[in-house]
Structure 1
Amino acid sequence: MSRGDRGPSLRGRRSECESLEQLIASVRTGQSRVLVLRGEAGIGKTALLDHLAASAAECHVARATGVESEMELAFAGLHQLCAPFLDRLDRLPTPQRDALGTAFGLRDGNTPDRFLIGLAVLSLLSDVAEDRPLVCLVDDAQWLDQASAHTLAFVARRLFAESVALIFATRSTTDDQAFRQLPEMLVAGLGDADARALLRTALRGPLDSAVRDEIIAEARGNPLALLELPRSRTPAQLAFGLGMPHAMPLASRMEQGFLQRLLPLPVDTRRLLLAAAVEPVGDVTVLWGAAERLGIPPGAATPAAEAGLIEFGARVRFRHPLVRSAAWRAADVRELQEVHGALAEATELDPDRRAWHRAQASTDPDEAVATELEHSADRAQARGGFAAAAAFHERAAELTPDPVHRAARVLAAAQAKLQAGDFDPALDLLATAEAGPLDDLGRARVDLMRAQIAYASSRSNEAPRLLLTAAKRLEPLDIELARQTYLDAFSAVLYAGRFARAADLTELAAAVPRATTDRNHRGDILLEGLASLVSDGYSASLPITRRALRAFRAEEISVADGLRSLWVTSVVAADAWDDESFRVLSTRYVQIAREAGALSELLLALNAHLIMLIFVGEPEAAASVVDEARALREATGSERPLYEVMVLRSWQGRAEYALPLIEASLTDVVARGEGIGASVAHWASALLLNGLGRYEEALIPARAAGSCPQELAAANWGLVELIESAARTGATDLAADALERLSAMTQAAGTDWALGVEARSRALLSEGDPAERLYREAIERLGRTRIRTELARARLLYGEWLRREGRRLDAREQLRAAHELFTTMGATGFSERARRELLATGETARKRTAETRDDLTAQEAQIARLAARQRTNSQIGAQLFISPRTVEWHLRKVFTKLGVSSRKELSGVLPDAAQASAPV
């Protein structure tokens, strides 16, 4: 089976061809399809791709091929595939356009997030398919560079209704994790009859029956083996079975066969083939430029082409990747270096390929080449190609003559590995760097990177101590980096919470004042406030933390500063019972993370923002956050606990969904050492059970949530739930102790949110007129805040108290208001409590349930809610990581199911947004 085979000439592949033709038919009807053709070298994957291309009449066909020597160049394979369509780049949403343009080196910009690049490619391919269906064929996918492989796998998982087919061909033995979850077709060997028939086409003379059987057995139906193995034997061996070669792996035998066919070729032809093998993209201009420098005449191509080993057309194309590897293996080191050197001179437009060729041509340390590689690493890093940057830095270090510079470049390679998420190789490089002559700043950076790896890889409770050590070492060397590291250490301590070492927290608080040198710098003020919280206590720290919150609210925040600081400031705002700062800062955190395409940070930002939205009682916005977090988690493969879903389901009173999530989250956060996650999970459980009136069950999680004050806001909320559950179960001593701890904070905070919650909690432990005054104070104070959920709970508790006092008419007023608020906010547990209390007063409240008209799917409900808020298809697609065309496809189904014809009509017919969101 040759590369030129088409359609019916693919012997023994009827089933595979029919499946591929059906795939094309589906794409022509507006669907998308993804398939991985997996099989050994020579099994016929490329021939099937050729057949697919020939079958795709009236479709766009785009092709790319992975090349082993190209694996160190970021986005090289992706650029091959997208290059024909880059004139459409300006049609993408601005963040996507900038991300993809930066990745391809077409424009300067901030380092793009790899998932934003993936979304940009999805949008680009979808846009191309608007004209006619698009078929993308990626051969030798096992040799794609890492950035391209991950991006294309991301796109493949998000294709749905774009009329795009994305087909990968890869080796069966390749550990290509990027493609493991995609639909596959295993390309097996031909059956015996087809194998024998194909073998006959390769013969030009007699064949001994024993030799025939041996070749058939050895080839195992591999078409290329059937065609090539006879060529590796002499006529005597074929006719009489004399001198049969010894056994070796089939791929090696085929490569050996190609090698045998290379040896008789003229020397210049072999050198030309070697240059073509080393030049990764088949650029004819570059190849002939290198050939001229090597003194290879143009006629040297003819013998190789006549032997069927290579094609010289618009691009250079080997008959099979094994021909490329055979040409490579046939050369000695000196020949390879000469070819790389010639290619470096011939490569004028691509500085990174030129630098790589120069590096491979170098035999001795060469600072000029190392510097050029360093520049390539910087360019790769700016495009988001961290794995490529690491490779450039590593090779630069190998070529660096000066030991000090060499150690610094190894450190740079470790940093790039860390950014790529390759933690074990990064640690190995750090060990290598430490063995070199690092200066004090270099050793401090080693400490910092070890700490960052510990924090990023598992949120380990080792991270605070390691970050503290790094920050101390950085103080006399780089005060700004030290300040940032101290803030990272505080983030790590807050995250670890109960799992952090008390000594680390005390030592961290003691060390911070040395790094806070600017009394007007908001970062210094925030650090000072956090240190004061640990050293001096809650009340003493509040004036400082409030100054920091005001500064963060009032001043512009850069992307880098926002991503580093806004999680901590949002938590501090909630801990200070500052509802306005909590709203502003958590909203800004989401905006910055989303606009910057910092998707790893966006999930954390959405978690904080979701809790704020629940407190202010915005169910539609909360449901939208859960939708976005679900899409983000799926798109990025994140394994972070489902905090946002767990909290929303608990607030909604949906125990059947919330309790399993809480249990799973607790198991996960304990294993990861995330104390703040444990506190949030316990608080969510207590909130759920109190809302359902299951006070005895709520006691245990409420006590656990409020037991660790170093976990800040969630611990405060845990005390609130503990007071209610303890008071309702007669555990008055427990409730009084929790109230005393809560009051110490709320009195110091002095906000209406804090004092309103304290008054409501104190009323639960009071009787008569004092209780009533406290309930009224709570309602008045909370009514002045944005925190509608706490206001609704105050009205419910007051109404319950009034009913028990026998004041039914007064109780109805409060219970009606509570029932309406809870129903509007989608809190069915609390709403049902209010309904039952109203029933006990003699008044019936309608029991409202969520209706999902015509059974909208989860994704349809997500899209419908966003469309009802007048988001465009592009905006919806960007938020949910799907293409605008898929959004439109879903919207047509939504309109049909809901019986509407426009977005304006959606808000009037959608079910309650908080309830319609499908369970996770």
Structure 2
Amino acid sequence: MLNPHDGVVARAQELSELDALLGAAASAGPQCVIVEGPSGIGKTALCEAFAALHPDLPVRRAEGTPWERGLRGGILAQLGVASPPGSGRLDEEGSGAEAWGPDGDQPAWLPAGRAAGEWLAGLTGDGAPAEGGPALIVLDGLEDADELSLEALAFALRRLRGPVLVLAACGPAGTRPASPAAQFAGAVRARRLRLGPLTHEALRELALARAGVDLGPDAVQALWRATGGNPGLALEALADGAEALGAETLAAEGPRAVVRSVAERAEAALAGLPAPSRALVEAVSVLGGTPSAAAAAQLARLPEGDAEALLAAADAAWAAGLLECRTVAGSLQVTIRDPLVRDAVHAGLGPLRRSTLHARAAELSESTRDRVRHLVAAAAMPDGDLAAAVDALAEAEAAKGDWGAAADALVAAARLHVDPALREDRLVRAAEAMIGAGDLTRAAPLARQIESLPQGAERDAALAYHAIHTGQARRAGALLARAWETRPPTAPADLSARIAQYRVLDALGNWDGEAMLAWTETAVRIAGPDSTAGIEARAMLGLALGLMGRHEEARRAYDELSSSAHLGGRDQRLRLGRGWVALAVDDMDTARLELRAAIPPARRPGSLRIALWAHAWLARAEFAVGRWDDALATARAGLALNDPVGISLVEPVLRLTAAQVCALRGQAAEAAEHSQHAQAGPEAYPVMRLSGAMAAAAVAESAGDYAAVLRAFDPIVHMDRTPWVDEPGFWPWQDVYANALVMAGELDRADAFLAPLEEAARGAGHRSTTARLGSVRGRLLGAQGRLDEAVAVFEESLAAIEGLPLPWGAARVRFAYGQTLRRAGRRRDASGVLAAARDAFAVLGASVYVARCERELQAAGTGVFRSRAGSRADSEETRVHAPVPAPAAFTAQEEAVARLVAGGRSNREAARELFVSVKTVQYHLTRIYAKLGIGSRSELAAVYRGGAAEEEAL
């Protein structure tokens, strides 16, 4: 989202992390964070946005500049640190080094450090923060800050106990180990926050907000390629593009391929090189990637066999910051450090020299792939013979399962063929190959071109394949049905097999096990069980059986496929399916092992589509076993992978885990953002809508808003669900919905909803589902006054989940159990169960539920031992609503009521959270007002705000 203060976009995660550090500063003393990244990435914008979001904080700012780097104490002077007596101010004429000179044997920075300490103590009120919260110090350009100031600040911060957050923006020069900025960061144990590039969606938002241009999909992709997601470069490219192309063309096509400042930087660096070094860099830009220095030297026509000349040329380019050089297995490898500079160097060659170099590179290439690639780059017009060679390469790459390389070859073939019919055919096949590679962003313009072709089975199949991955369920289904019905009698078998495979994916999106199984068997029968298409279809067979609850058959299907001699290196789909099914049956060790294996290492080929699904389900598995840091990291990694390729079908599943972890940890802003992006429209596939509903419900449940939970699930409850949506294990949403019904007092509806699900779980012998549904049944029985039955159900639920590595699920059961006991008046029994739940939530970092358990324990009349400050459990909710000492005359129940009402809860909301009647809340409020000598809710809130400030000051 765009911050209204300064235009920072898509930095909710980073702002949330800074909020957490601000809370740590309030509770645990000084904190420092270094915001790192290249020029233009938005370091300053993030710092200023954070300050703008906290207008009540006392803020001090200073900025380092290259020309003031030698001014000793310059940063201290900007901050307002007083110079030693009699030395004058630093910004006065004649004052400078002498202001902070050494005193005898003392180091030069010690007087400055003492002065900085006094200044910080005054800023933080000697440990008692101002009413607005901790102090905030913003240091921009840390890499250019003078050394004396950094030494002094480090000295002072290491001794300070008051609440202060130092937020420093630092460029690449400041991250070198020997730099003063890096030494300062180490001395104060600063956290590092590295800003990455903006996503495609964020670039589009930036263009609309800052340049007033609504970029289309092709234009956004062009902007990404030209800038690498750097917002500073993006704004420059947009400004230049608007001037050179006009707003309409810019919105449709995007800016030029190379940003002007990058081109100027590249040309300036090249101009300073000796001729052999420039030729070497240009050769590397033509070869691409990380070629051997020997190959680049041969293309650059450096003296053959002259290692000294090669090293001299490479050394000059390395010293100029253009080349990165490393030795691998006795061979010197070279690459251009900045991909944007590589593109600028390549573009700057000019058409003739660029074509000549690519033609020579083709002659020198040792592989067919490289030879054809360079011939294509050298071509200036259509060439039928070259097109035939590219066709052959595309077939070879597809047979190996490298759909990305196949797509590149087919796009080239479409341009090179002279025959229009062949060009159209290659265009359709290129789009399918791109989608197979998982690159929906590149496939989108091809799909738009294919729309204009005459209707036919090939065209409809390709468009359906695209619609599946962009989440257009109804469109995909209609196109697939027509493609299957309109196949010509002489259609090749591979067309029928492809349509059948696409129908398998369509059935998966609809979570229709019967259709998925039928089309999988059709695809295998047409393609043959040992063909590439057949192997891929068989990898889906086990998943189809699994989602229908036929788990043993699924296991046998995967065992049979894994032993096939024809599997080769195409095991990624097998690993995904096996891990997915294992997750559904609570076999967490197998699930995590297989799903990790389905994510190929960076340099190993594999399907990006499959890797994204593996990220999504591995994140779910890590969440289930309580490894929430890993779950969040996996989900974020999947989202980062998906951003440039845009597979809408999988994004909501990735967002679900991220929203859930953030919500439970009290990181409300980031949770809300993930939930918002997880939402899919009514035309989307059920797997997308389920994930979006679960994400929204997780955020709402964490906020205690059960009406919002019911609203989130309402479309799911009323949609035409297949029987397999409620198959135990795959989509654990039912207990959250039923729990919200109970909390909303809809007991009969909850009972009717639970009954068939409980029967299915028992019939399947699914332990975690039995436990989850049992916790809601126990809560329902408790609400009906049938406590003995409720206790029995809760105990059965705990027994069912015992031994499974599912700490979140077990803690939820205990929390519901303890609440039910406490509501029934069995406070002593409730305390033990709630304390166990609280401890489990604290280990997970579920700060929202830690706080709820503590309120329940207070309402039960039990003392609360809070988690130590700075722990993962001490997140936003526990920090912002930290307990404050209540009057000694308060009972535990009065204290719990007072906290909730002071925090803004209505009497009805407080009653619902504490499981008491509204009259009971009113009774307690009357006694609270009398004991405090106040007469209104606003006065109660003021008392608690004051108490919180006093506690923070201790």
What TM-score comes out, normalization by structure 2 length?
A: 0.49
Matched, 1:79 2:96: no
Return the match for 1:756 from 761, 771, 775.
771
Structure 1 match to 2:749? 734
2:738 is paired with a residue of what secondary structure?
Answer: helix
Structure 1 match to 2:321? 134
Relative distance call for 1:585 and 1:431 in structure 2 (3 A) is same
409-418 vs 747-756, greater mean Cα deviation: 409-418
2:595 is paired with a residue of what secondary structure?
Answer: helix
Relative distance call for 1:760 and 1:617 in structure 2 (3 A) is same
Contact 1:683–1:701 (CA under 8 A) maintained in structure 2:
yes
Give how far 1:775 is off.
0.8
Relative distance call for 1:716 and 1:733 in structure 2 (3 A) is farther
Relative distance call for 1:770 and 1:531 in structure 2 (3 A) is same
Q: Deviations over 1:195-226 (max 9, x none)?
A: xxxxxxxxxxxxxxxxxxxxxxxxxxxxxxxx
How many angstroms apart in 2 are the aligned matches of 1:277 and 1:522? 44
2:344 is paired with a residue of what secondary structure?
Answer: strand
Structure 2 match to 1:628? 637
Give how far 1:823 is off.
0.8
2:322 is paired with a residue of what secondary structure?
Answer: strand
Contact 2:281–2:317 (CA under 8 A) maintained in structure 1:
no
How many angstroms apart in 1 are the aligned matches of 2:629 and 2:376? 53
Structure 2 match to 1:745? 760
Give how far 1:132 is off.
4.3
Structure 2 match to 1:795? 814
Matched, 1:661 2:674: yes
Contact 1:471–1:485 (CA under 8 A) maintained in structure 2:
yes
How many angstroms apart in 1 are the aligned matches of 2:681 and 2:375? 48
**Number of corresponding residues:** 583
564-573 vs 737-746, greater mean Cα deviation: 564-573
How many angstroms apart in 2 are the aligned matches of 1:477 and 1:53? 55
Contact 1:59–1:132 (CA under 8 A) maintained in structure 2:
no
Query: Which runs of structure 2 are paired with 1:272-311 in the superposition (5 Å)?
Result: 280-282=354-356
Give how far 1:821 is off.
0.6
Give how far 1:746 is off.
0.8
Give how far 1:735 is off.
0.6
Give how far 1:397 is off.
3.7
State the Cα RMSD in Å: 5.8
Contact 1:136–1:167 (CA under 8 A) maintained in structure 2:
no
How many angstroms apart in 1 are the aligned matches of 2:388 and 2:804? 59
Return the match for 1:811 from 810, 825, 830.
830
| Structure 1 gap segments, 5+ residues each | 1-17, 67-75, 90-126, 138-150, 157-164, 175-275, 287-314, 316-342, 436-442, 857-920
Query: Which runs of structure 2 are paired with 1:518-667 in the superposition (5 Å)?
Result: 541=550, 544-545=553-554, 547-548=556-557, 563-564=572-573, 573=582, 579=588, 582-590=591-599, 595-596=604-605, 598-629=607-638, 631-632=640-641, 640=651, 642-666=655-679
Q: Deviations over 1:449-503 (max 9, x none)?
A: 2322222345553224444665786999887986675454343344356xxxx9x
Structure 1 match to 2:687? 676
How many angstroms apart in 2 are the aligned matches of 1:30 and 1:532? 53
Relative distance call for 1:850 and 1:453 in structure 2 (3 A) is farther
Contact 1:705–1:719 (CA under 8 A) maintained in structure 2:
no
Contact 1:562–1:592 (CA under 8 A) maintained in structure 2:
no
Structure 1 match to 2:509? 495
Give how far 1:392 is off.
4.0
Give how far 1:693 is off.
3.9
Aligned partner letter, 1:352: V
Q: Deviations over 1:337-380 (max 9, x none)?
A: xxxxxx999999985389669987999xx7x6653343455688
2:845 is paired with a residue of what secondary structure?
Answer: coil
1:836 is paired with a residue of what secondary structure?
Answer: helix
How many angstroms apart in 2 are the aligned matches of 1:609 and 1:560? 21
How many angstroms apart in 1 are the aligned matches of 2:542 and 2:367? 56
Contact 2:393–2:406 (CA under 8 A) maintained in structure 1:
no
Give how far 1:531 is off.
6.8
Contact 1:415–1:426 (CA under 8 A) maintained in structure 2:
no
Structure 2 match to 1:686? 697
Give how far 1:791 is off.
0.7
Structure 2 match to 1:695? 706
1:786 is paired with a residue of what secondary structure?
Answer: coil
Aligned partner letter, 1:804: R
Give how far 1:643 is off.
3.6
Give how far 1:552 is off.
7.6
Structure 1 match to 2:344? 168
Q: Deviations over 1:800-858 (max 9, x none)?
A: 222233333322221111111111111122222211122222323333377389x99xx
1:617 is paired with a residue of what secondary structure?
Answer: coil
Structure 2 match to 1:15? none
2:599 is paired with a residue of what secondary structure?
Answer: helix
Contact 1:389–1:416 (CA under 8 A) maintained in structure 2:
no
Matched, 1:829 2:840: no
Relative distance call for 1:695 and 1:476 in structure 2 (3 A) is farther
How many angstroms apart in 2 are the aligned matches of 1:569 and 1:751? 18
Query: Which runs of structure 2 are paired with 1:2-13 in the superposition (5 Å)?
Result: none
Structure 2 match to 1:389? 409
Contact 1:398–1:406 (CA under 8 A) maintained in structure 2:
yes
How many angstroms apart in 1 are the aligned matches of 2:354 and 2:317? 32
Structure 2 match to 1:785? 804
1:168 is paired with a residue of what secondary structure?
Answer: helix
How many angstroms apart in 2 are the aligned matches of 1:828 and 1:447? 50
How many angstroms apart in 1 are the aligned matches of 2:501 and 2:602? 18
Structure with bigger helix share is 1
Structure 1 match to 2:152? none
Contact 1:53–1:61 (CA under 8 A) maintained in structure 2:
yes
How many angstroms apart in 2 are the aligned matches of 1:558 and 1:392? 30
| Structure 2 gap segments, 5+ residues each | 1-66, 68-140, 145-170, 177-193, 195-226, 245-255, 298-313, 325-334, 876-954
Q: Deviations over 1:41-68 (max 9, x none)?
A: 9x999887554445579998687669xx
Aligned partner letter, 2:850: S
Query: Which runs of structure 2 are paired with 1:839-918 in the superposition (5 Å)?
Result: 839-848=858-867, 851=870
Structure 1 match to 2:878? none
Relative distance call for 1:595 and 1:751 in structure 2 (3 A) is farther
Give how far 1:744 is off.
3.6
Contact 1:706–1:722 (CA under 8 A) maintained in structure 2:
no
Contact 1:726–1:732 (CA under 8 A) maintained in structure 2:
yes
1:590 is paired with a residue of what secondary structure?
Answer: coil
Query: Which runs of structure 2 are paired with 1:392-431 in the superposition (5 Å)?
Result: 392-394=412-414, 397-398=417-418, 412=429, 415=432, 421=440, 422-423=442-443, 426-427=446-447
Q: Deviations over 1:384-425 (max 9, x none)?
A: 55665235423564269xx8x888666655655666654466
Q: What is the aligned-residue identity percentage?
A: 18
Relative distance call for 1:478 and 1:800 in structure 2 (3 A) is farther
Relative distance call for 1:46 and 1:770 in structure 2 (3 A) is closer
Relative distance call for 1:604 and 1:671 in structure 2 (3 A) is farther
Aligned partner letter, 2:505: S
Contact 1:522–1:551 (CA under 8 A) maintained in structure 2:
no
How many angstroms apart in 2 are the aligned matches of 1:522 and 1:45? 46
Query: Larger Cα Rg: Structure 1 or Structure 2?
Result: 1
Give how far 1:726 is off.
1.5
Contact 2:286–2:354 (CA under 8 A) maintained in structure 1:
no
How many angstroms apart in 2 are the aligned matches of 1:347 and 1:826? 54
Return the match for 1:371 from 380, 388, 395.
388
